[in-house]
A and B are shown apart, each in its own frame.
Chain A
Amino acid sequence: MSNALAAIPRVRLTGVIGVSSAVLLAIAIIAIIGPLASPHGYETTDFDNGLLPPSAADRHFFGTDDLGRDQFVRTMMGARITLTVAIIASLVSLIIGVAWGAIAGYAGGRVDAVMMRIVDALYALPFIFFVILLMVTFERNFMLMFIAIGAINWLDMARIVRGQTLALKEREFVEAARLIGVPAWRIVFRHITPNLLGVIVVYVTLTVPQAILIESFLSFLGLGVQEPRTSLGALVSGGTGYMEQAPWVLLLPSTLLAIILLAFNFLGDGLRDALDPRGIRQ
């Protein structure tokens, strides 16, 4: 065990990694606390005060949307939902992908062949096909739908983990565990997966921005989260109609969305550079 855990790489929180984690943390905190500090509710409509520009006087820091709802509170709510949704989707894809890949890789032979054939088939299905049909079916529950999205997004993870597992299972400590009679499932989940942690962490950081983009794409198609709830993607997509009359309705949520995406991408890249880069791509 200790042998296996020692393989987990240590990453110092400096440079790119430090800055991007700090930014993400700050956004998360503001998104949670911000709405509490505002006198406005996120679903309170005010038809006489639609599309107000940002102003500190009436505490509409980000202005109002077409229905007179406070954009600041909505943007913060949107950020919360966007982050939650993306992280959940990534975790789901992580769990399925790691389990699938590790089992296929460790079992090998026919089990491996069948499992990877299924991955191939799912790969060959257009992604938006799944997404649209899942949205249509699960429209009423956005958590469920992102679990579903995560359930599709695991294919890359499965392939990478399988490849790594194939390499790892020839290593001495796995041999040793096998010789002393440790059961297969225990070897897979106690000895092999911890060694994949570096790869997995990097991969998840790169999956989160993908999930965020998928969410915003769905919002563009009108298949996103249910009103009056909102997400950054929904706000940005709704804001494009006002890019001339009320640019702040588009600009502020898009900026936040871009910052979150940038931070996750930089974090992912930073982690990849910090950890063994070869391990990821082979």
Chain B
Amino acid sequence: MLQAGAIRFAFFRLLGAIPTLLLVIVIAFLMVHAAPGGPFDDERALPAEIEANIRQSYHLDEPMPQQFLRYLSGVVRGDLGPSYRYRDYTVSELIGAAAPLSLWLGTLAMLLALVIGIFAGTFAALHAARPADRWISGVAMTGISIPVFVIAPLFVLLFAVQLNWLPASWSGGSGIGRYLLPVIALALPQIAYITRLVRASMIDVLGSDFVRTAKAQGLATRAIVRYHAAKPAMLPLLSYMGPAIAGILTGSVVVEAIFGIPGLGQLFVRGALNRDYTLVLGVVIFYATLVIVLNAVVDMLYGFLDPRIRQQ
């Protein structure tokens, strides 16, 4: 019964996302085309007739509404079009090549951040307002106070150039070594956010009536945290996770640039700077879909974990 309900919920949730996605495509399409400069502008201007040939081959000579409909009908058929810059590949192929690595790195970074963040946050909450808490909070805050474009090159300088322990770049090594520095660099700000989030919500839960009751019954702190407080305290974390996972994918531009990782962030930024309209739109659609799906998953998990919502 509950499962059928969940499936129905998920189905309608995703069905309801279609207008959102459509809105996303419209906004993105308009913004991309409104940006000054075009995909074929270069220092070396092309002769008019050659530029005309190129524009024609990409249907850029058509009126804007027609271009939009052409694009949209492609998207509906699952075709994100050809890249304007990388002419040997379609946008789907480019995303297909970059997304798995980004997802993988993002997942690893997020797992690392979760493990450290939950542990540190809970520990800080249990020692709230005592030195341990102050230290953990301080370190966590420092993690978000130094931009990653400072930390990442420092890592490389230290561990790759000076100590020669780890490769300086993605294609400079193989195996787990090349994951280490980028994953840590990606995880650092997340560790900080998660620690703070868990600390705050854990303090909140530990102060609630049912925990006090449990305490009064003489349960050990460890047991209280594990069996009573953990689940409700992780709820805010859950709603943070959806956008955070998606954000780590496109937000990893800096880490990708410094470690030479062929991921989605680089693809997107290069696409935007080159005015590769289809590539940019393709990544936007991919990202939006991911956000919508992740949020739906989060909502469903919420339903399972939070009895109050289930009753509604």
Q: Which residues of B contact A233 (CB under 8 A)?
A: 147
Which A residues between 134 and 166 are near B, CB-CB below 8 angstroms?
A: 136-137
- Residue among B137, B147, B236 with the highest chain A CB neighbour number at 10 A: B147
Contact A216 B147 (CB under 8 A): yes
**Contact for A220 among B21, B31, B36, B254, CB less than 8 A:** B254
Residue A189 lies at the interface, judged by CB distance under 8 Å to chain B: no
Contact B145 A258 (CB under 8 A): yes
Q: Which residues of B contact A244 (CB under 8 A)?
A: 157
**Contact for A240 among B20, B23, B153, B265, CB less than 8 A:** B153
> With the chains together, A137 CA to B24 CA distance in Å?
19
**Contact for B201 among A118, A137, A237, A281, CB less than 8 A:** A281
Residue B39 lies at the interface, judged by CB distance under 8 Å to chain A: no
Contact A281 B236 (CB under 8 A): yes
Interface size class of A (residues with CB under 8 A): 35 or more
> With the chains together, A56 CA to B203 CA distance in Å?
48
Contact A128 B250 (CB under 8 A): yes
Residue A1 lies at the interface, judged by CB distance under 8 Å to chain B: no
Distance (whole angstroms) from the CB of A104 to the closest CB of chain B:
16
Q: In the complex, what residue of chain A is closest to B199 when comparing beta carbons?
A: A269
Contact B20 A121 (CB under 8 A): yes
> With the chains together, A121 CA to B24 CA distance in Å?
5
Residue A46 lies at the interface, judged by CB distance under 8 Å to chain B: no
Pick from B106-114, B115-123, B166-174, B282-290 the stretch touching chain A: B282-290
Q: Which residues of A contact B204 (CB under 8 A)?
A: 277-278, 281
Residue A29 lies at the interface, judged by CB distance under 8 Å to chain B: no
Q: Which residues of A contact B19 (CB under 8 A)?
A: 117
**Contact for A262 among B141, B147, B236, B268, CB less than 8 A:** B141
Q: In the complex, what residue of chain B is closest to A118 when comparing beta carbons?
A: B23
Residue B260 lies at the interface, judged by CB distance under 8 Å to chain A: no
**Contact for B144 among A117, A209, A272, CB less than 8 A:** A209
Residue B292 lies at the interface, judged by CB distance under 8 Å to chain A: yes
Contact B153 A243 (CB under 8 A): yes
Contact B272 A133 (CB under 8 A): yes
> With the chains together, A236 CA to B36 CA distance in Å?
29
Contact B35 A137 (CB under 8 A): yes
Residue A173 lies at the interface, judged by CB distance under 8 Å to chain B: no
Contact B146 A125 (CB under 8 A): no
Contact B200 A277 (CB under 8 A): yes
Q: Which residues of B contact A185 (CB under 8 A)?
A: none
Q: Which residues of A contact B35 (CB under 8 A)?
A: 133, 136-137
Distance (whole angstroms) from the CB of A157 to the closest CB of chain B:
14
* Residues in B lying within 8 Å of A, measured CB to CB: 19-21, 23-24, 27-28, 31-32, 34-37, 137, 141-142, 144-147, 149-150, 153-154, 157, 196, 200-201, 203-204, 236, 243, 246-247, 250-251, 253-254, 265, 268-269, 272-273, 280, 283-284, 287-288, 291-292
Contacts A124-B21, A265-B141 known; 17 new A-B pairs at CB < 8 A: A117-B19, A123-B291, A124-B292, A126-B268, A126-B287, A128-B253, A128-B272, A129-B284, A132-B269, A137-B35, A217-B147, A217-B149, A243-B153, A254-B146, A261-B141, A265-B145, A281-B201
* Residues in A lying within 8 Å of B, measured CB to CB: 117-118, 120-130, 132-133, 136-137, 209, 213, 216-217, 220-221, 233, 236-237, 240, 243-244, 250, 254, 257-259, 261-262, 265-266, 269, 272, 277-278, 281
